[in-house]
Structure 1
């Protein structure tokens, strides 16, 4: 009976046309993204967020039902192409003019945060004998802007989909825990609202985490927190070019590796939309707020569908053996970063 079922599944997979496999795969990633959105509406899960909820569902699906091979082409499209589109659109969230005019001091401190997060995580990973790729991605996510930073750097450093998905899942979960911890600690900290906002923006992982932690402290705290966070997002572009340089230098002399080194054109799109969003839209060209909100919503859905595609590649057996030590390294780094930034603020 079991063999008959396998034969039936194989026959169905063979009958799927390339177009049907592509359409079905993309639709499947958005369907799980929808389930993640609905799960995030439930009290408790709302702190975790749509992105992390969708990844969790995708990982659980993989462990129970296996990878949907018949839909691989569409799922791969979501995890590769839609991911790049989401990163490009993410550029609209970065206001370069605000960062450069009001946040130069914060920008310098943000650079220090990124350098510390990456090197500290890598150093701890060596001591703990943790997986190097996952640890590097977690260091980037901790230092810059969580999932978006990991997604931008991953194709440059040739990260496997599974490593990228594991890193995004960890950063989303730990960022949520830290954001909740910040809100609990806030009344007991000897910081005024502005200082607390700067501290949150300099150290928390995602934009959403910064907003979650800073909002209870008031509008001024939220504004300065987001400004501090935007400085870290701003530094994502030069960081990516540093990784491009390092990868080319590492692969120098290897003709085969050099041919595989693709230029991340999505970063150009990210820069262009950042410039348009900062100096054109809302200035020489009026764009309704509803349109911008719609674009931001689309960005979230595209990024979530892409992460679903990555999450479907995660094997929990490997997760147990490869993710625990990088998680420990990243947690120690995040705690140290919070303490150091607290005294700097």
Structure 2
């Protein structure tokens, strides 16, 4: 009898050990969502707010020892689960609506931006992990790409926090400027929407900037952005491979690498499921809300684990690097659209 009860007792003990940290991250995430509804913070994502609140909590109160196990789980496992569920947002039907020329523009923009970030991080003397985080966030989907890439890059907590802040600032400024530039450049709704979807960072920023110039522009921008999210899986896999090669000392010291992390494979599976199964809108909406909350919990945990002194020590170079990436992706994607669309 005692032997049979032991696994249950162990599970209960693990759950009790995790609860304080999970509860702390959930409270911070809920607070971030509440604050994001304030009018003057409507352009700031709950993910970034969760990081800031987590950093503030650590700076003021430290990290309670009792919360550490749950914080670790939030930072690692909940983050991966959120990335998996993110795959349900993209379907093959959305890809088909874009057309071959638009798909080529999106693919070329992602690849060129990642390559540019890799090259420029050396010239700007930005540490390679942080450079790749900023490149992923700019090229693909902002915070989601940064947190997904951070797992395979074994990035430091302060790198993730800095990357989120830099990409959010650049994307928010772009969100305001794009409608103005679209009018000045006399872009038609389709071209403008494609430009927004191909180059702005966060989905929310794309929706806001796209619909500023009408429903056709908004719909095109949103679909283009969601299709761009598909680059998340191959990008994370490649970055993970490059990171492990770098850590092992290069190609002359081969290492056993996990080309496709389980959560990236799960993301791809969700894309397929969402494409072949007609899930009801209410379920997809609920899953999207869950993804956003899990992401906020994970980022709250990252904030709690972030040393504010090390974060400040990064200086202005990565922020300027992020601005350079934002300018590059905007100019490069617009040039392709004007030439081929």
Tell me the TM-score normalised to structure 1 length.
Answer: 0.86
Instruction: Decide whether the 8 Å contact of 2:206 with 2:225 is kept in 1.
Output: yes
Query: What number of residue pairs does the alignment pair up?
Result: 322
| Alpha-carbon distance change, 198 to 254 in structure 1, aligned in 2, over 3 angstroms | same
Instruction: Decide whether the 8 Å contact of 1:117 with 1:334 is kept in 2.
Output: no
- Choose which of 69, 73, 82 in structure 2 pairs with 1:73: 69
Distance (whole Å) between structure 2 residues aligned to residue 223 and residue 302 of structure 1: 27
Partner of residue 342, structure 1: 334
Deviations 1:1-22 (A, max 9, x none): xxxxxxxxxxxxxxxx764441
Partner of residue 269, structure 2: 272
Deviations 1:203-254 (A, max 9, x none): 1011111111101222211121122212321122222232344345443665
- Choose which of 136, 140, 148 in structure 1 pairs with 2:132: 136
Tell me the TM-score normalised to structure 2 length.
Answer: 0.87
Q: Offset of 1:294 from its aligned partner?
A: 0.8
Q: Does 1:227 align with 2:223?
A: yes
Partner of residue 7, structure 1: none
Instruction: Decide whether the 8 Å contact of 2:237 with 2:260 is kept in 1.
Output: no
Q: Does 1:327 align with 2:323?
A: no
Q: Does 1:120 align with 2:113?
A: no
* Structure 1 residues 131-280: aligned runs within 5 Å: 131-250=127-246, 251=248, 258=256, 264-280=261-277
Distance (whole Å) between structure 1 residues aligned to residue 119 and residue 297 of structure 2: 33
- Choose which of 306, 309, 315 in structure 2 pairs with 1:317: 309
Q: Offset of 1:322 from its aligned partner?
A: 1.5
Distance (whole Å) between structure 2 residues aligned to residue 112 and residue 74 of structure 1: 40
Q: Offset of 1:324 from its aligned partner?
A: 2.2
Instruction: Decide whether the 8 Å contact of 1:130 with 1:322 is kept in 2.
Output: no
Q: Offset of 1:263 from its aligned partner?
A: 5.2
| Alpha-carbon distance change, 81 to 216 in structure 1, aligned in 2, over 3 angstroms | same
SS of match in other structure, 2:63:
coil
Deviations 1:279-325 (A, max 9, x none): 21x2xxxx331121111111110111111111112222222222521
Instruction: Decide whether the 8 Å contact of 1:84 with 1:266 is kept in 2.
Output: yes
Instruction: Decide whether the 8 Å contact of 1:32 with 1:305 is kept in 2.
Output: yes
Distance (whole Å) between structure 1 residues aligned to residue 122 and residue 26 of structure 2: 38
Distance (whole Å) between structure 1 residues aligned to residue 306 and residue 245 of structure 2: 30
Structure 2 unmatched ranges of 5 or more: 1-12
Distance (whole Å) between structure 2 residues aligned to residue 328 and residue 184 of structure 1: 23
| Alpha-carbon distance change, 254 to 127 in structure 1, aligned in 2, over 3 angstroms | closer
Instruction: Decide whether the 8 Å contact of 1:166 with 1:314 is kept in 2.
Output: no
Structure 1, 301-310 or 152-161: larger mean CA deviation: 152-161
- Choose which of 28, 36, 42 in structure 2 pairs with 1:32: 28
Distance (whole Å) between structure 2 residues aligned to residue 47 and residue 87 of structure 1: 22
Q: Does 1:302 align with 2:294?
A: yes
SS of match in other structure, 1:48:
coil
| Alpha-carbon distance change, 40 to 101 in structure 1, aligned in 2, over 3 angstroms | closer
Instruction: Decide whether the 8 Å contact of 1:138 with 1:150 is kept in 2.
Output: yes
| Alpha-carbon distance change, 246 to 336 in structure 1, aligned in 2, over 3 angstroms | closer
- Choose which of 55, 58, 64 in structure 2 pairs with 1:59: 55
Distance (whole Å) between structure 2 residues aligned to residue 61 and residue 184 of structure 1: 38
